[in-house]
């Protein structure tokens, strides 16, 4: 019997994200056990060959790799360590993977509780949304020791295109928070761009089409995330001319956008901050345009 055939996987929480992720695990050779508070969420899985469990404890009685996708920290704590939680029946060596976005301190605390019973808890938040879950194209950021990561990497590969070992327990959540920081700041920047475009008499839906099209080509904000440090660069570094060119283009376009905003009386606070911090953030220092802008607005 292969390792995969000897391992039963469990899935707790069959909501908008959990259901499509669990569906990908129906093909797992060792079988799938599912659990959700709503019988109607469990029924399709049973029809497709999974086994149903009434409680997290019942899942752990069968499965040794268990994914958890529930609402928040309180629900995660209850599923893991509550009266009918996983720990009440989990065998030594069981790996509990929490996909919910929770506090990194919750992950670390629960992992310590699990270690007392020789059970691994890993934080494994996901990125890619419901569409990525349905397509099996998620990214999973895993905070785990090497042994636990090895146990989850293969089953995770059924619902994710990218499985990253972020570091020890808690690191997965910290990476997810950094990723979502970029995500929602970008959304806020998008609303600022829409206000400028609307004030200029443009069709903001068409602007959205252009943004989605070109970000698919260039990679969007992630295109600059290529270095292993945020330290300032020496001019002899091969990255310096590349990122200095990016800074110069960015400062020029930001300055032009701010000029348009001034003429249309549209406040663009993120653009002001971006102009001031772009070069330093890229590691090449401020350029001529941002330096001049800072002097003008001192």
CA distance readout (Å), 15 to 37, 38, 85, 106: 10, 10, 19, 22
CA distance readout (Å), 107 to 113, 125, 197, 274: 10, 11, 43, 34
What's the pLDDT band for 4 if we cut at 50, 70, 90? low
Would you report the helix, strand and coil content of the chain in percent, each value rounded to 5? 55, 15, 30
- CA–centroid distance for 127 within its chain: 3
User: Is residue 256 packed enough to be buried (19+ CB in 10 Å), middle (13-18) or exposed (0-12)?
Assistant: exposed
Whether pLDDT at 44 is above 50: yes
Whether pLDDT at 291 is above 70: yes
Residues 94 and 148: their CA atoms lie apart, in Å, by 9
Segment 213-229, tens digit of pLDDT: 999 999 999 999 989 99
User: Is residue 174 packed enough to be buried (19+ CB in 10 Å), middle (13-18) or exposed (0-12)?
Assistant: middle
Residues of the chain with CATH 1.10.1040.10: 227-298
CB 140 within 8 A of CB 160: yes
Which residue in the list 137, 176, 209, 295 is annotated as catalytic? 176
Whether pLDDT at 84 is above 90: yes
In this prediction, residue 297 carries a pLDDT of: 85
CB 64 within 8 A of CB 96: no
Fold for the domain defined by 3-174: Rossmann fold (3.40.50)
Residue 297 φ/ψ, nearest 5 degrees = -105, 15
For 265, which DSSP code? T
Segment 160-201, tens digit of pLDDT: 999 999 999 999 999 999 999 999 999 999 999 999 999 999
Q: Which of 94, 101, 58 is nearest to 76 (CA)?
A: 101
Residues 298 and 144: their CA atoms lie apart, in Å, by 48
Hey, what are 10's tokens?
């469990």
In this prediction, residue 105 carries a pLDDT of: 94
In this prediction, residue 1 carries a pLDDT of: 34
Angle at 70 between CA 66 and CA 71, to 5 degrees: 160
In this prediction, residue 211 carries a pLDDT of: 96
In this prediction, residue 298 carries a pLDDT of: 75
In this prediction, residue 185 carries a pLDDT of: 95
Whether pLDDT at 293 is above 60: yes
What's the pLDDT band for 2 if we cut at 50, 70, 90? very low
Fold for the domain defined by 227-298: 1.10.1040
Residues of the chain with CATH 3.40.50.720: 3-174
Residues 293 and 275: their CA atoms lie apart, in Å, by 8
Segment 225-272, tens digit of pLDDT: 989 999 999 999 999 999 999 999 999 999 999 999 999 999 999 999
Q: Is 117 among the residues known to form the active site? A: no
Mean model confidence pLDDT for the chain:
95
Percent of the chain with pLDDT over 90: 96
């Amino acid at each position: 019997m292969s390792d995969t055939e000897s391992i039963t996987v469990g899935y707790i929480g069959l909501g908008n994200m959990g259901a499509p992720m669990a569906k990908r695990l129906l093909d797992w050779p060792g079988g799938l056990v599912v659990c959700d508070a709503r019988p109607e969420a469990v029924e399709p899985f049973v029809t497709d060959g999974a086994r149903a469990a009434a409680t997290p404890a019942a899942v752990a009685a069968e499965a040794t790799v268990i994914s958890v996708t529930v609402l928040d920290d309180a629900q995660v704590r209850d599923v893991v360590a509550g009266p009918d939680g996983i720990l009440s029946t989990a065998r030594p060596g069981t790996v509990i993977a929490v996909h919910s976005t929770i506090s990194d301190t919750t992950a670390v605390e629960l992992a310590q509780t699990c270690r007392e019973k020789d059970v691994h808890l890993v934080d494994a938040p996901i990125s890619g949304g419901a569409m990525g879950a349905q397509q099996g194209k998620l990214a999973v950021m895993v905070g785990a020791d090497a042994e636990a990561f090895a146990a989850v990497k293969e089953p995770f590969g059924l619902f994710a295109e990218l499985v990253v070992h972020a570091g020890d327990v808690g690191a997965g959540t910290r990476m997810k928070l950094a990723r979502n920081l970029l995500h929602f700041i970008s959304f806020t920047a998008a609303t600022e761009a829409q206000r400028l475009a609307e004030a200029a008499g443009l069709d903001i839906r068409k602007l959205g089409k252009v943004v989605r099209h070109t970000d698919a080509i260039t990679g969007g904000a992630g295109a600059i995330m290529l270095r292993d440090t945020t330290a300032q660069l020496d001019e002899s570094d091969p990255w310096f001319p590349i990122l200095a060119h990016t800074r110069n283009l960015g400062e020029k376009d930001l300055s032009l956008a701010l000029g348009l905003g001034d003429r249309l009386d549209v406040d663009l606070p993120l653009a002001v901050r971006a102009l001031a911090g772009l070069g330093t953030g890229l590691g090449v220092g401020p350029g001529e345009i941002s330096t001049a802008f800072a002097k003008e607005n001192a």
